[in-house]
Protein backbone atom coordinates (compact mmCIF):
# COMPACT_ATOMS: atom_id res chain seq x y z
CA UNK A 1 0.00 0.00 0.00
CA UNK A 2 1.47 3.38 -1.02
CA UNK A 3 0.49 4.95 2.32
CA UNK A 4 2.98 2.71 4.13
CA UNK A 5 5.50 2.26 1.33
CA UNK A 6 9.12 3.10 2.17
CA UNK A 7 10.71 1.93 -1.09
CA UNK A 8 13.64 4.18 -2.00
CA UNK A 9 13.86 5.65 1.53
CA UNK A 10 16.93 5.44 3.73
CA UNK A 11 16.69 5.17 7.52
CA UNK A 12 19.24 5.46 10.32
CA UNK A 13 18.32 3.65 13.55
CA UNK A 14 20.61 4.43 16.48
CA UNK A 15 20.80 1.41 18.76
CA UNK A 16 19.35 -0.50 15.82
CA UNK A 17 21.45 -3.56 16.61
CA UNK A 18 19.08 -5.02 19.23
CA UNK A 19 15.94 -4.62 21.30
CA UNK A 20 13.35 -1.99 20.32
CA UNK A 21 15.66 -0.42 17.70
CA UNK A 22 16.00 -3.70 15.81
CA UNK A 23 12.24 -4.29 16.08
CA UNK A 24 11.68 -0.92 14.42
CA UNK A 25 14.40 -1.50 11.82
CA UNK A 26 12.73 -4.79 10.84
CA UNK A 27 9.42 -3.00 10.28
CA UNK A 28 11.09 -0.35 8.10
CA UNK A 29 12.93 -3.09 6.16
CA UNK A 30 9.69 -4.94 5.45
CA UNK A 31 8.17 -1.67 4.18
CA UNK A 32 11.04 -1.33 1.69
CA UNK A 33 13.52 1.05 3.34
CA UNK A 34 17.31 0.67 3.26
CA UNK A 35 18.79 0.68 6.75
CA UNK A 36 21.85 2.02 8.53
CA UNK A 37 22.20 0.11 11.80
CA UNK A 38 24.13 2.38 14.15
CA UNK A 39 25.61 1.23 17.46
CA UNK A 40 28.90 0.82 19.30
CA UNK A 41 29.14 -2.99 19.29
CA UNK A 42 30.46 -4.11 15.88
CA UNK A 43 29.45 -7.76 16.39
CA UNK A 44 25.84 -6.81 17.30
CA UNK A 45 25.73 -4.39 14.34
CA UNK A 46 26.85 -7.15 11.96
CA UNK A 47 24.29 -9.63 13.32
CA UNK A 48 21.47 -7.11 12.93
CA UNK A 49 22.54 -6.29 9.37
CA UNK A 50 22.46 -10.02 8.54
CA UNK A 51 18.95 -10.32 10.04
CA UNK A 52 17.72 -7.34 7.97
CA UNK A 53 19.36 -8.75 4.84
CA UNK A 54 17.43 -12.00 5.40
CA UNK A 55 14.24 -9.88 5.18
CA UNK A 56 15.44 -8.69 1.76
CA UNK A 57 16.58 -5.24 2.89
CA UNK A 58 19.69 -3.34 1.91
CA UNK A 59 21.41 -2.71 5.25
CA UNK A 60 24.78 -1.43 6.41
CA UNK A 61 26.46 -1.34 9.81
CA UNK A 62 27.64 2.08 10.96
CA UNK A 63 29.73 2.32 14.12
CA UNK A 64 28.66 5.23 16.33
CA UNK A 65 28.94 6.49 19.87
CA UNK A 66 25.96 8.82 20.15
CA UNK A 67 27.57 10.70 23.05
CA UNK A 68 30.21 11.97 20.62
CA UNK A 69 29.17 14.75 18.22
CA UNK A 70 31.83 13.98 15.61
CA UNK A 71 30.82 10.32 15.64
CA UNK A 72 27.16 11.28 15.02
CA UNK A 73 28.14 13.52 12.10
CA UNK A 74 30.30 10.72 10.67
CA UNK A 75 27.34 8.30 11.02
CA UNK A 76 25.19 10.53 8.81
CA UNK A 77 28.01 11.17 6.31
CA UNK A 78 28.73 7.44 6.00
CA UNK A 79 25.03 6.63 5.51
CA UNK A 80 24.66 9.22 2.76
CA UNK A 81 27.90 8.09 1.13
CA UNK A 82 26.87 4.41 1.07
CA UNK A 83 23.07 4.58 0.74
CA UNK A 84 22.77 7.88 -1.14
CA UNK A 85 20.44 9.90 1.14
CA UNK A 86 18.79 10.02 4.55
CA UNK A 87 15.01 10.33 4.94
CA UNK A 88 14.39 8.77 8.36
CA UNK A 89 16.14 8.99 11.74
CA UNK A 90 15.12 6.92 14.73
CA UNK A 91 16.77 8.24 17.89
CA UNK A 92 16.56 5.05 19.89
CA UNK A 93 19.97 4.55 21.58
CA UNK A 94 19.53 4.71 25.32
CA UNK A 95 20.80 3.66 28.70
CA UNK A 96 19.89 3.75 32.39
CA UNK A 97 21.62 3.79 35.76
CA UNK A 98 19.28 2.85 38.60
CA UNK A 99 19.91 4.62 41.92
CA UNK A 100 18.16 6.89 44.41
CA UNK A 101 18.59 10.56 43.38
CA UNK A 102 20.98 11.37 46.22
CA UNK A 103 23.31 8.55 45.17
CA UNK A 104 24.13 9.71 41.61
CA UNK A 105 27.41 11.37 40.77
CA UNK A 106 27.27 14.31 38.38
CA UNK A 107 29.20 12.18 35.87
CA UNK A 108 26.46 9.52 35.98
CA UNK A 109 23.72 12.16 35.52
CA UNK A 110 25.59 13.58 32.52
CA UNK A 111 26.20 10.14 31.02
CA UNK A 112 22.48 9.28 31.04
CA UNK A 113 21.40 12.72 29.77
CA UNK A 114 24.02 12.67 27.02
CA UNK A 115 23.18 9.13 25.88
CA UNK A 116 19.40 9.53 25.94
CA UNK A 117 18.66 13.20 25.23
CA UNK A 118 21.63 15.23 23.96
CA UNK A 119 22.36 12.45 21.46
CA UNK A 120 18.89 12.83 19.91
CA UNK A 121 19.48 16.58 19.54
CA UNK A 122 22.91 16.07 17.99
CA UNK A 123 21.81 13.32 15.57
CA UNK A 124 18.73 15.32 14.52
CA UNK A 125 20.88 18.36 13.72
CA UNK A 126 23.28 16.13 11.78
CA UNK A 127 20.49 14.72 9.53
CA UNK A 128 18.56 18.00 9.11
CA UNK A 129 20.49 19.26 6.03
CA UNK A 130 20.03 15.88 4.32
CA UNK A 131 16.29 15.84 4.99
CA UNK A 132 15.95 19.41 3.75
CA UNK A 133 17.81 18.43 0.60
CA UNK A 134 15.46 15.46 0.12
CA UNK A 135 12.38 17.69 0.49
CA UNK A 136 11.29 16.24 3.84
CA UNK A 137 11.91 13.60 6.43
CA UNK A 138 10.76 11.73 9.53
CA UNK A 139 12.36 11.79 12.96
CA UNK A 140 11.18 9.39 15.65
CA UNK A 141 12.47 9.87 19.20
CA UNK A 142 12.16 7.12 21.78
CA UNK A 143 10.77 8.24 25.14
CA UNK A 144 9.48 5.98 27.89
CA UNK A 145 6.77 5.61 30.52
CA UNK A 146 9.27 7.80 32.42
CA UNK A 147 8.30 10.59 29.98
CA UNK A 148 4.97 10.56 31.87
CA UNK A 149 5.56 9.06 35.32
CA UNK A 150 8.27 9.33 37.94
CA UNK A 151 9.94 6.53 39.92
CA UNK A 152 12.41 6.41 42.79
CA UNK A 153 15.38 4.93 40.93
CA UNK A 154 15.23 6.85 37.64
CA UNK A 155 15.98 10.56 38.17
CA UNK A 156 18.34 11.20 35.22
CA UNK A 157 16.52 8.68 33.02
CA UNK A 158 13.14 10.33 33.70
CA UNK A 159 14.65 13.78 33.11
CA UNK A 160 16.07 12.62 29.78
CA UNK A 161 12.83 10.96 28.65
CA UNK A 162 10.68 13.92 29.73
CA UNK A 163 13.09 16.10 27.76
CA UNK A 164 12.66 13.89 24.69
CA UNK A 165 8.94 14.72 24.57
CA UNK A 166 9.45 18.50 24.85
CA UNK A 167 12.32 18.49 22.37
CA UNK A 168 10.10 16.54 19.97
CA UNK A 169 7.40 19.23 20.18
CA UNK A 170 9.85 22.09 19.69
CA UNK A 171 11.59 20.51 16.67
CA UNK A 172 8.21 19.54 15.19
CA UNK A 173 7.18 23.21 15.25
CA UNK A 174 10.46 24.43 13.80
CA UNK A 175 10.84 21.88 11.01
CA UNK A 176 7.22 21.53 9.82
CA UNK A 177 8.02 24.17 7.20
CA UNK A 178 10.68 21.79 5.83
CA UNK A 179 8.16 18.92 5.63
CA UNK A 180 9.99 17.11 8.43
CA UNK A 181 7.68 15.39 10.92
CA UNK A 182 9.08 14.78 14.41
CA UNK A 183 7.27 12.42 16.77
CA UNK A 184 8.03 10.41 19.90
CA UNK A 185 7.17 6.84 20.85
CA UNK A 186 6.80 5.97 24.53
CA UNK A 187 7.36 2.25 25.07
CA UNK A 188 5.81 0.48 28.04
CA UNK A 189 7.72 -2.40 29.64
CA UNK A 190 9.47 -4.29 26.86
CA UNK A 191 11.58 -7.45 27.14
CA UNK A 192 15.08 -6.32 26.08
CA UNK A 193 18.66 -6.33 27.41
CA UNK A 194 17.89 -3.05 29.22
CA UNK A 195 14.94 -4.42 31.20
CA UNK A 196 16.46 -7.86 31.76
CA UNK A 197 18.94 -6.01 33.98
CA UNK A 198 16.08 -4.24 35.84
CA UNK A 199 14.20 -7.53 36.23
CA UNK A 200 17.28 -9.10 37.78
CA UNK A 201 17.59 -6.18 40.23
CA UNK A 202 13.92 -5.72 41.21
CA UNK A 203 12.16 -8.70 42.79
CA UNK A 204 8.59 -9.13 41.53
CA UNK A 205 8.99 -6.64 38.66
CA UNK A 206 7.91 -9.13 36.01
CA UNK A 207 4.62 -9.94 37.78
CA UNK A 208 3.93 -6.28 38.70
CA UNK A 209 4.21 -5.21 35.06
CA UNK A 210 1.94 -8.03 33.86
CA UNK A 211 -0.66 -7.16 36.52
CA UNK A 212 -0.65 -3.44 35.70
CA UNK A 213 -0.70 -3.83 31.88
CA UNK A 214 -4.21 -4.25 30.44
CA UNK A 215 -2.78 -6.36 27.60
CA UNK A 216 -1.56 -8.75 30.32
CA UNK A 217 1.99 -9.18 29.03
CA UNK A 218 5.36 -7.52 28.55
CA UNK A 219 5.96 -6.01 25.14
CA UNK A 220 8.45 -7.49 22.68
CA UNK A 221 10.67 -5.64 20.16
CA UNK A 222 8.48 -6.76 17.25
CA UNK A 223 5.60 -4.73 18.79
CA UNK A 224 7.47 -1.63 17.50
CA UNK A 225 7.58 -2.54 13.81
CA UNK A 226 4.13 -1.15 13.06
CA UNK A 227 4.47 2.20 14.83
CA UNK A 228 7.85 2.70 13.12
CA UNK A 229 6.35 2.13 9.67
CA UNK A 230 3.40 4.41 10.45
CA UNK A 231 5.53 7.29 11.78
CA UNK A 232 8.09 7.01 8.96
CA UNK A 233 5.65 6.70 6.05
CA UNK A 234 3.30 9.03 4.12
CA UNK A 235 0.47 7.68 6.33
CA UNK A 236 1.59 10.11 9.06
CA UNK A 237 2.42 13.19 6.95
CA UNK A 238 0.03 15.45 8.95
CA UNK A 239 1.07 14.04 12.34
CA UNK A 240 3.86 15.88 14.14
CA UNK A 241 4.95 16.72 17.68
CA UNK A 242 3.07 13.82 19.26
CA UNK A 243 4.18 11.31 21.88
CA UNK A 244 2.49 7.96 21.31
CA UNK A 245 2.51 5.33 24.07
CA UNK A 246 3.05 1.77 22.78
CA UNK A 247 2.47 0.10 26.10
CA UNK A 248 -0.37 -2.42 26.02
CA UNK A 249 -2.45 0.17 27.91
CA UNK A 250 -0.03 0.56 30.86
CA UNK A 251 -0.31 4.37 30.90
CA UNK A 252 -4.13 4.47 30.86
CA UNK A 253 -4.80 1.89 33.59
CA UNK A 254 -6.63 3.37 36.57
CA UNK A 255 -6.61 2.01 40.13
CA UNK A 256 -9.91 0.15 39.95
* Residues making contact with ligand NDP (CB under 6 A): 14-15, 17-21, 39-41, 44, 64-67, 92-95, 115-116, 142, 144, 187, 189-190, 192-195
Extract long-range pairs of 151-157: CB within 8 Å, 24+ residues apart. 152/100, 153/98, 153/99, 153/100, 154/96, 154/98, 155/99, 155/101, 155/104, 155/109, 156/97, 156/104, 156/108, 156/109, 156/112, 156/113, 157/96, 157/97, 157/112, 157/116
Shortest approach of ligand NDP to residue 8 CB, angstroms?
26
Which CB sits closer to ligand NDP, 53 or 176? 53
Nearest Cα to Cα of residue 30 among 51, 16, 45: 51
Based on the residue annotation, tell me whether 157 is a catalytic residue of this protein: yes
Q: Which helix (H) or strand (E) holds 110?
A: helix 106-113
Which CB sits closer to ligand NDP, 30 or 65? 65
Shortest approach of ligand NDP to residue 224 CB, angstroms?
9
Q: Among 104, 128, 157, 250, which one carries the catalytic annotation? A: 157
Which CB sits closer to ligand NDP, 71 or 236? 71
Shortest approach of ligand NDP to residue 179 CB, angstroms?
26
Which CB sits closer to ligand NDP, 65 or 178? 65
Shortest approach of ligand NDP to residue 144 CB, angstroms?
4
Q: At what angle do helices 19-30 and 225-232 cross, to 10 degrees?
A: 60
Instruction: Return the active site residues.
Output: 157
Amino acid sequence: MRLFDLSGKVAIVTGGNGGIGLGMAKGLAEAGAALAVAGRDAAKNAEAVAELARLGARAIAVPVDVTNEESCKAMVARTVQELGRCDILINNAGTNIRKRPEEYTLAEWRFVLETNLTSAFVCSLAVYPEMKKAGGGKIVNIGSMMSIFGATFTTPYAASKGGIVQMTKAMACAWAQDNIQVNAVLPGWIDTALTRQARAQIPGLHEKVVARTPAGRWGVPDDFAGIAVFLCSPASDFLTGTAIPVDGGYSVQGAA
